[in-house]
Amino acid sequence: MTSHQGLRLALAGGGTGGHLVPGLHLLSQLVRRAEEGQGPGLSSVVWFTSGRAVEERVLEGLESTLGGIPCERVALPVEPDGGGAPSLLRTGVRMAPAAARARRAMRAARSEVLLGLGGFVCAPAVLAARSRATPAALLEINAQRGKATRLLSPLCSRVFHAWTRTMPDRPGRKHLRTGPPLAPGFVPRTPDPDVPRAARRELGFDPERPLLLVLGGSQGAAALNRFVAEEGDVWLESGIQVLHQTGPGRLEEGGAPRDRQRTVEYLDDVPTALRAATLVLCRGGASTIAEVGAVGVPAWVVPYPHHQDRHQEYNARELGGGVRLVPEGALDRNQAKELGAYLGSEGHFDRERMATALQGCVPVDAADRVLDELTRLARR
């Protein structure tokens, strides 16, 4: 791959992991396609972030993923220092210098196309792209439209939608239903029972015992972690194994070490963990829901209850009968016993029904669809 053949891509997204992870998946797929001779690959990346600490943790391995491809991270601090929505006055004061900084960075990198991933940082980046006639696109990763999509879509050439619910009644050419971008390696789990057994063996678990996979995240994980710590003995005493991801810096929230339970801050190999799982207990973040749906493993979803737009609930509903919604307030001993029964032999037919409902819910080629369209926009 020569440098003039690669895509010069700018990304804008930050504030939460949900606005970062899809971008990492897209970059990984671009690199993979170039290595396999299936696409132009990358020449440079500029990533506009909001400058929050969570971004440093999520993007920690970005440079190694790119394998030497020039990459610059540029903070455009529009949000308040403590996070949250900026006031109109603050937005007005900070928007112009942030857009000017984004414009300079895109000019230096000769960026050909911009993709907004979500968050307030998208606004100055899109304005900068617009000012230099660089095509811009947005990715709506949630099943409830965010402010970036609502306000900035008129300035963009394309809007990619992960879920059907956010598509307008008359989408035209601008709005495309692509599905949520996934990391390379996500493939649907086959009905063959040897597949989860082999995955459990690979992870060091007993292949014959059911495995509960608990996915806590960077935000909103405390309630799930507390539920596992306080009620997890119900599952372990009945022979169920537990793989518990607590989220960064939250390992102690998982409770004391117990037999047949492994507690980690972060899972490096999520596809294998999902293939190994008998059932998943998780929040309703878009990336988690996308991965659960793509692999096709049944899940009990506990939507984070403090989001005004309830987007985690709407995300989970996109998977239909493949998930069960559980209110956070219902995470008690009775719920733990019911979950344990669901993981046992009496829950087999319900799990099979849920797995069947997940078939085809999430396309596994969404990253390729987005990348192909971005390349077309850049080459015009």
Instruction: Supply the DSSP string of 232-298, one letter for each residue.
Output: THHHHHTT-EEEEE--TT-GGGG-S--TTEEEES--S-HHHHHHH-SEEEE---HHHHHHHHHHT--
Residues 272-292: tens digit of each pLDDT: 999 999 999 999 999 999 999
Q: Which residue range is the domain that position 20 belongs to?
A: 3-182+364-379
Shared-domain flag, residues 220 and 142: no
Predicted confidence at residue 218, as pLDDT, reads 63
Shared-domain flag, residues 54 and 176: yes
Predicted confidence at residue 338, as pLDDT, reads 96
Shared-domain flag, residues 354 and 370: no
Predicted confidence at residue 80, as pLDDT, reads 59
185-193 long-range CB contacts below 8 Å, 24 or more apart?
Answer: 185/271, 186/271, 186/291, 186/294, 186/295, 186/364, 187/271, 187/294, 187/295, 187/364, 188/294, 188/295, 188/296, 188/359, 188/364, 189/274, 189/275, 189/295, 189/296, 189/297, 189/355, 191/355
Shared-domain flag, residues 58 and 91: yes
Predicted confidence at residue 156, as pLDDT, reads 97
Shared-domain flag, residues 170 and 302: no
CATH code of the domain containing 27? 3.40.50.2000
Shared-domain flag, residues 35 and 69: yes
Shared-domain flag, residues 209 and 318: yes
Low-confidence residues in the chain, pLDDT < 70: 1-4, 79-92, 217-219
**CA 380, CA 41: separation in Å to the nearest integer?**
17
Predicted confidence at residue 4, as pLDDT, reads 42
Looking at the 3D structure of the chain, how many domains does it have? Answer: 2
